[in-house]
């Protein structure tokens, strides 16, 4: 006996096996991200006041790049549309169109990851600094002529690290203050880009916008990284189906279309997570 | 192209695939995709972990009975393997903590769940629903291999500097993070990585089981004709599918706390050895407990539901009667499945989460006892008026009923907020959940081993050895766990490496009971020797079965050749009736198999 309903739907459920499987898998994924979103809510609601002097209230907001985030949302939604078009092309027996739409999907997927790593890099080079005088700033630092970079975790500094490396002073470029409501952008920019030299003894706290700095960054990086892994995994599967795995189209077109449908369902889920993620961490 | 012609074309194609290769050793036994081989792989691996977990706890029990004395036999071994932490064969406090955490982890995640769900679920479920295999055979194989390597990682964690995880099987934060804050790659980190792998394994298993049960039921196998065992596995699958991911999320967050020094579970102003910890703070230790117990409580039902399924099969078969209230049992198991998701915080009454929250969880906890009692009552009533066959599987199944009953009833005082505050974290709790899992679930699973062994091998297990195993285990189990209720009610706290001597003084009855418990534990260990001999000897020397259906059972698992070949059934089975048509009035034989033509 062979395993039935591997690609033909079972008459009474109307589903083939893989479709039941992927929906169950997505249910479990919802519980995974649901738990992380719940953790986000709980951490935010009970966050103690005064952890971040540069930000009013208990929870830092407005530190993420909203225009880039919006653009990335659009990129991911586009890929979700093209993956449906790819499946529809298969159903209309048009393999060329399928391949074209899959390529667009893949370009969007890797585009999303590329933009995300640019955003990560922005955070890893961005610092929060508190001084003994009570002043606090956000901005960029230069230590011994070095900036921190995405691939260079060794140059992310905090106070303990400065002490260990016996760095006596750092160069600090503070961010321009946020324009107040009604104020023109240009006047705010006028204060910017003044490089200060700051002695180590004056520093109370120094850290980049990395997970250990604040639970906000912790949860932001954990959820977005986990989401990024899902994007990467989905892109690899779609890439496999678009190129080496597409030989199945000749052997069993129905099963191949099913595979695209199932992979597409996962891809929509990944998209959906981002659609929740974007407003929750960027906008709220 | 018409559907009919395309179907016949692929059928012919698959037929050709079916015959063209003869798999070698690696493909037949190690990388097999056959659900029966995978079931046996799960079974043997989990029994080995069961024994290992038992040895760990016996070392701990010796330390409790005779604090500071070298452990006989295992002591020198521990010193040779683990070094200074077991100097002179004496268990240090650190080692006690490490063994305690790993005993819990191994027993729950590497022994009982894989045995109940992985082994029995894999072997029996497809047979009982009349399927040729699981819906996703390769995922099934991946699930076993992830489980195996997750287990290896857990074992390897004993050897990293500092030893394995030692913050309890619950890994409460902040202890789990600050215990070895300076060395991020420690036993706890290995534990977390191991857990993530094990969770992935059970996720693949759960997806596979549920899909199989929904999609691969044979013709005529409607939902209410499913054997109760399949129902139990079905609900268990949903519990694993939906309850495990929050622990995975929690594991990832704690991993970040350990490796990236985030503060998800670390509150503000945490002071460790007189120094403020250099972290940002602002996290919540309570969050870990919520996420952990959101898994932890459904997990309890993952342990018990398959056991109830096994017992139901054996009780119906050996009383030669239909199960009393089969439909109510099915609805009850669904209720348990749902309610088990909203009772978790009854593990957390003492955390100060607030009386309103406590009241809610106290209420749901009392509610969930109703369907559990329904199932137990149905099984008890099923015995009424039956001409019971007292063979070894039936003895274990019968013992399950009162033993699980004791475990369940002693849980009620823990479900009530007021009494739990006194009993929390005492030996009473240990007695309670071990009654549920050890003489409860393990007895049911042993019953399953004796019951399905003839189908797996074509030979019976030895009845005499089986009965010795049963009676000694029954006595041993009760002598081990019953005194713990007394210790707990006297206020003895769990997780004390000296057995409570510093707290009570050595002359207290609670402390003296430690000695009798340890000796009973040794008896329990000795009682397993006949089982191990029986299990392996019977493969070659057991009495041969007379036919494919040695127990005269009704369900489809007995309609297969013995042992079932690849693809299970000689011809496609068709189901005509419910699962337990025993002693039907007017029928010639006392049982009507589900696939017998009317």
**Bridging pattern class, strands A169-174 and A195-199:** antiparallel
Of A5, A16, A215, the CB nearest to B282: A215
- Cα–Cα distance measured from residue B454 to residue B538, given in angstroms and rounded to the nearest whole number: 10
Average pLDDT, chain B: 92
Residue B457's nearest CA partner among B30, B39, B22 is B39
| Chain-chain contact of A218 with B260 (C-beta, under 8 angstroms) | yes
Instruction: Measure Cα distances from B207 to A225, A270, B242 in Å.
Output: 25, 19, 10
Nearest 5°: the CA angle B524, B529, B535 is 125
Q: What is the 3-state secondary structure (H, E, C) of B397-428?
A: HHHHHHHHHHHHHCCHHHHCHHHHHHHCCEHH
- What secondary structure letter does DSSP report for A53? T
Q: Is the separation of the CB atoms in A260 and A105 below 8 Å?
A: no
Residues 6+ apart with CB under 8 A from B376: B401, B404, B405, B408
- CB atoms under 10 Å from CB of A264, counted, come to 21
The enclosing H or E element of B212 equals: helix B187-215
| Chain-chain contact of A219 with B263 (C-beta, under 8 angstroms) | no
3-state secondary structure of A222: helix
Q: Is the separation of the CB atoms in B444 and B397 below 8 Å?
A: yes
Q: Which residues of A touch B211 (CB under 8 A)?
A: 17, 20-21, 24
Of A21, A28, A210, the CB nearest to B135: A21
Residues 6+ apart with CB under 8 A from B343: B297, B361, B364, B365, B368
Residue B308 inside a domain? The answer is yes
Write out the E strands in B14-83. Answer: none
Residue A130's nearest CA partner among A174, A166, A168 is A174
Residue A193's pLDDT is what?
A: 64
3-state secondary structure of A143: strand
| CATH assignment at residue B360 | 1.20.210.10
Lowest mean pLDDT among A28-32, A166-170, B163-167, B418-422: A166-170
Residue B5's pLDDT is what?
A: 40
| Chain-chain contact of A215 with B280 (C-beta, under 8 angstroms) | yes
Number of domains in chain B: 1
Q: Which residues of B touch A220 (CB under 8 A)?
A: none
Residue A195's pLDDT is what?
A: 85
- Cα–Cα distance measured from residue A96 to residue A87, given in angstroms and rounded to the nearest whole number: 12
ipTM, two decimals, is 0.93
3-state secondary structure of A159: helix
Q: Which residues of A touch B7 (CB under 8 A)?
A: 8
Residue B11's pLDDT is what?
A: 41
The enclosing H or E element of B514 equals: helix B509-541
Residue A148's pLDDT is what?
A: 64
Of B206, B256, B261, the CB nearest to A222: B256
Region of B400 (left: φ > 0; alpha: ψ -120 to 50; beta: rest) is alpha
Residues 6+ apart with CB under 8 A from B501: B67, B511
* Strand partners for A143: A146
| Tokens encoding B295 | 């898994």
Residue B6's pLDDT is what?
A: 41
Residue A179's pLDDT is what?
A: 57
Residue A156's pLDDT is what?
A: 84
End-to-end CA distance of chain A: 56
In angstroms, what separates the C-alpha of B216 from chain A's closest C-alpha?
7
Instruction: Measure Cα distances from B400 to A224, B212, B318 in Å.
Output: 47, 28, 15
In angstroms, what separates the C-alpha of A118 from chain B's closest C-alpha?
20
**Bridging pattern class, strands B271-272 and B275-276:** antiparallel
Residue B55's nearest CA partner among B113, B99, B90 is B99
| Chain-chain contact of B280 with A212 (C-beta, under 8 angstroms) | yes
- Cα–Cα distance measured from residue B587 to residue B585, given in angstroms and rounded to the nearest whole number: 6
- Cα–Cα distance measured from residue B283 to residue A125, given in angstroms and rounded to the nearest whole number: 24
Residue B457's nearest CA partner among B531, B541, B530 is B541
pLDDT exceeds cutoff 50 at B3 = no
pLDDT exceeds cutoff 50 at B225 = yes
* Strand partners for A173: A140, A195
pLDDT exceeds cutoff 60 at B55 = yes
Nearest 5°: the CA angle B378, B407, B326 is 15
| Chain-chain contact of B245 with A31 (C-beta, under 8 angstroms) | yes
Residue B463 inside a domain? The answer is yes
Please compute the mean of the pLDDT values over residues B321-326 and round it to a whole number.
94
| Mean pLDDT split into 10-residue runs, chain A, 284 residues | 91 95 97 97 88 76 91 97 97 96 97 95 89 87 75 78 87 77 51 77 89 92 97 97 95 95 97 96 91
pLDDT exceeds cutoff 50 at B4 = no
Please compute the mean of the pLDDT values over residues B269-295 and round it to a whole number.
90
Q: Is the separation of the CB atoms in B440 and B401 below 8 Å?
A: no
- Cα–Cα distance measured from residue B384 to residue B315, given in angstroms and rounded to the nearest whole number: 11
Which domains are present in chain A? 17-47+61-123+214-283 (1.20.120.80), 127-206 (no CATH)
Q: Is the separation of the CB atoms in A240 and A60 below 8 Å?
A: no
| Tokens encoding B64 | 């409790």
Residue A113's nearest CA partner among A29, A235, A222, A211 is A235
- Cα–Cα distance measured from residue B505 to residue B498, given in angstroms and rounded to the nearest whole number: 11
**Range of B110's domain?**
32-268+280-559
In angstroms, what separates the C-alpha of A125 from chain B's closest C-alpha?
17
| Chain-chain contact of A3 with B203 (C-beta, under 8 angstroms) | no
Of A36, A46, A213, the CB nearest to B249: A36
Please compute the mean of the pLDDT values over residues B554-570 and round it to a whole number.
94
Of B136, B263, B568, the CB nearest to A218: B263
Percent of chain B with pLDDT over 70: 96
With CA atoms as reference, the chain A residue closest to B7 would be A8
Long-range pairs for B383-391: beta carbons < 8 A, 24 or more residues apart: B383/B315, B383/B319, B384/B324, B385/B321, B386/B318, B386/B319, B386/B320, B386/B321, B387/B319, B387/B320, B388/B318, B388/B319, B389/B318, B389/B320, B390/B318, B391/B318, B391/B450, B391/B463, B391/B466
Q: Which residues of B touch A43 (CB under 8 A)?
A: 264, 282-284, 287
- B76-122 confidence digits (pLDDT tens): 999 999 988 899 999 999 999 999 999 999 999 999 999 999 999 99
| Tokens encoding B574 | 């068709």
Residue B521 inside a domain? The answer is yes
- Cα–Cα distance measured from residue B340 to residue B344, given in angstroms and rounded to the nearest whole number: 7
| Chain-chain contact of B280 with A226 (C-beta, under 8 angstroms) | no
Residue B2 inside a domain? The answer is no
- B449-465 confidence digits (pLDDT tens): 999 999 999 999 999 99
End-to-end CA distance of chain B: 39
Residue B309 inside a domain? The answer is yes
Residue with tokens 């420690």: B186
Q: Is the separation of the CB atoms in B189 and B259 below 8 Å?
A: yes
| Chain-chain contact of B281 with A51 (C-beta, under 8 angstroms) | yes
- Backbone torsions φ then ψ of B41, nearest 5 degrees: -60, -50
Residue B9 inside a domain? The answer is no
| Chain-chain contact of A28 with B207 (C-beta, under 8 angstroms) | yes
* Strand partners for A195: A173
Q: Which residues of A touch B140 (CB under 8 A)?
A: none
| Chain-chain contact of B249 with A39 (C-beta, under 8 angstroms) | yes
Record the pTM: 0.93
Write out the E strands in chain A. Answer: 127-131, 136-142, 169-174, 195-199, 203-208
Residue B574 inside a domain? The answer is no
Cis-peptide, bond into residue B177, ω within 30° of zero: no
- Cα–Cα distance measured from residue B346 to residue B335, given in angstroms and rounded to the nearest whole number: 18
Q: Is the separation of the CB atoms in B436 and B412 below 8 Å?
A: no
- B513-551 confidence digits (pLDDT tens): 999 999 999 999 999 999 999 999 999 999 999 999 999
Residue B35's pLDDT is what?
A: 96
Residue B14 inside a domain? The answer is no
- Helices A215-242 and A95-124 meet at what angle, rounded to 10? 160
- Cα–Cα distance measured from residue B326 to residue B579, given in angstroms and rounded to the nearest whole number: 9
DSSP string computed for B103-164: HHHIIIIIIIHIIIIIIIIHHHHHHHHT-SS-S-HHHHHHHHHHHHHHHHHHHHGGGSTT-B
């Amino acid at each position: 006996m062979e395993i039935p309903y591997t690609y033909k739907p079972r008459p009474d459920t109307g589903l083939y096996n893989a479709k039941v499987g992927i929906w169950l898998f997505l249910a479990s994924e919802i519980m995974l991200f649901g738990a992380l979103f719940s953790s986000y809510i709980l951490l935010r609601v009970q966050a103690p006041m005064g952890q971040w002097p540069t930000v009013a209230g208990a929870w830092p907001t407005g530190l993420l790049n909203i225009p880039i985030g919006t653009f990335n949302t659009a990129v991911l939604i586009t890929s979700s549309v093209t993956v449906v078009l790819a499946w529809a092309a298969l159903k209309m027996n048009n393999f060329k169109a399928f391949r074209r739409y899959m390529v667009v999907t893949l370009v969007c997927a890797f585009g999303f990851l590329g933009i995300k790593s640019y955003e990560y890099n922005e955070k890893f080079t961005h610092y929060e600094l508190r001084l003994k005088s009570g002043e606090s700033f956000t901005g960029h630092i230069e230590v011994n002529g070095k900036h921190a970079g995405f691939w260079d975790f060794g140059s992310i500094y905090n106070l303990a690290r400065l002490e260990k490396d016996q760095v006596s002073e750092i160069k600090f470029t503070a961010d321009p203050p946020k324009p107040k409501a009604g104020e023109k952008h240009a006047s705010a920019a006028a204060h910017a880009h003044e490089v200060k030299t700051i002695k180590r003894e004056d520093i109370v706290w120094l850290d980049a916008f990395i997970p250990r700095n604040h639970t906000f960054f912790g949860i932001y990086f954990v959820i977005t990284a986990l989401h990024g892994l899902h994007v990467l995994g989905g892109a690899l599967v779609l890439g496999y189906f678009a190129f080496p795995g597409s030989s199945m189209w000749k052997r069993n077109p129905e099963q191949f279309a099913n595979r695209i449908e199932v992979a597409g369902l996962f891809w929509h889920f990944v998209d959906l997570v981002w659609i929740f993620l974007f407003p929750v961490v960027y906008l709220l | 192209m018409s559907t009919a012609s395309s179907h016949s074309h692929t059928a012919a194609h698959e037929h050709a695939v079916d015959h063209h290769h003869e798999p070698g050793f690696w493909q037949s036994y190690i990388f097999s995709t056959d659900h029966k081989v995978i079931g046996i792989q799960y079974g043997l691996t989990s029994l080995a972990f069961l024994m290992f977990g038992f040895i760990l706890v016996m070392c701990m029990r010796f330390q409790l009975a005779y604090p500071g004395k070298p452990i006989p036999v295992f002591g020198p071994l521990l010193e040779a393997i683990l070094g200074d932490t077991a100097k002179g064969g004496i268990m240090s406090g650190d080692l006690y903590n490490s063994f305690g955490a790993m005993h819990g982890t191994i027993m729950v995640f590497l022994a009982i769940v894989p045995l109940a769900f992985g082994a029995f679920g894999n072997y029996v479920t497809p047979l009982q629903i009349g399927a040729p295999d699981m819906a996703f055979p390769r995922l099934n194989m991946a699930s076993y291999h992830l489980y195996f390597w997750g287990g290896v990682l857990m074992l390897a964690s004993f050897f990293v500097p500092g030893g394995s995880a030692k913050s309890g099987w619950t890994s409460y934060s902040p202890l789990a993070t600050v215990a070895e804050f300076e060395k991020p790659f420690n036993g706890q980190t290995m534990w977390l990585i191991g857990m993530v792998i094990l969770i992935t394994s059970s996720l693949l298993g759960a997806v596979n089981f549920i899909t199989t049960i929904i999609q691969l039921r044979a013709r005529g196998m409607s939902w209410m004709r499913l054997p109760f065992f399949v129902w139990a596995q079905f609900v268990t699958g949903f519990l694993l599918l939906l309850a495990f991911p929050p622990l995975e999320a929690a594991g990832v967050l704690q991993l970040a706390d350990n490796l990236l020094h985030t503060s998800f579970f670390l509150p503000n102003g945490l002071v460790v050895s007189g120094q403020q910890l250099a972290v940002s703070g602002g996290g919540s230790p309570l969050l870990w407990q919520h996420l952990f117990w959101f898994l932890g409580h459904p997990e309890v039902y993952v342990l018990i539901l398959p056991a109830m399924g096994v017992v139901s099969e054996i009780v119906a078969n050996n009383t030669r009667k239909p199960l009393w209230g089969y439909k109510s049992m099915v609805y009850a198991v669904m209720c348990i499945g749902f309610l088990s998701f909203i009772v978790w915080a009854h593990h957390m009454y003492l955390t100060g989460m607030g009386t309103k929250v406590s009241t809610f969880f106290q209420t749901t906890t009392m509610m969930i006892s109703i369907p559990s009692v329904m199932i137990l009552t149905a099984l008890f009533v099923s015995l009424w008026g039956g001409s019971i066959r007292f063979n070894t599987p039936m003895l274990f199944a019968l013992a399950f009923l009162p033993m699980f009953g004791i475990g369940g009833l002693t849980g009620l005082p823990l479900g009530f907020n007021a009494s739990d505050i006194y009993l929390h974290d005492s030996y009473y709790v240990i007695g309670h959940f071990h009654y549920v899992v050890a003489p409860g679930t393990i007895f049911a699973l042993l019953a399953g081993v004796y019951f399905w062994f003839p189908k797996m091998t074509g030979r019976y297990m030895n009845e005499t050895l089986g009965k010795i195993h049963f009676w000694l285990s029954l006595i041993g189990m009760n002598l081990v766990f019953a005194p713990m209720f007394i210790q707990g009610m006297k206020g003895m706290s769990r997780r004390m490496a000296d057995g409570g001597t510093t707290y009570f003084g050595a002359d207290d009855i609670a402390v003296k009971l430690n000695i009798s418990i340890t000796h009973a534990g040794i008896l329990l260990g000795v009682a397993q020797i006949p089982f191990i001999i029986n299990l392996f000897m019977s493969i070659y020397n057991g009495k041969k079965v007379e036919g494919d259906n040695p127990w005269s059972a009704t369900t489809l698992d007995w309609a297969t050749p013995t042992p079932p070949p690849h693809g299970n059934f000689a011809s496609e089975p068709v189901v005509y009736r419910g699962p337990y048509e025993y002693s039907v009035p007017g029928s010639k034989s006392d049982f009507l198999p589900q696939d017998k033509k009317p």
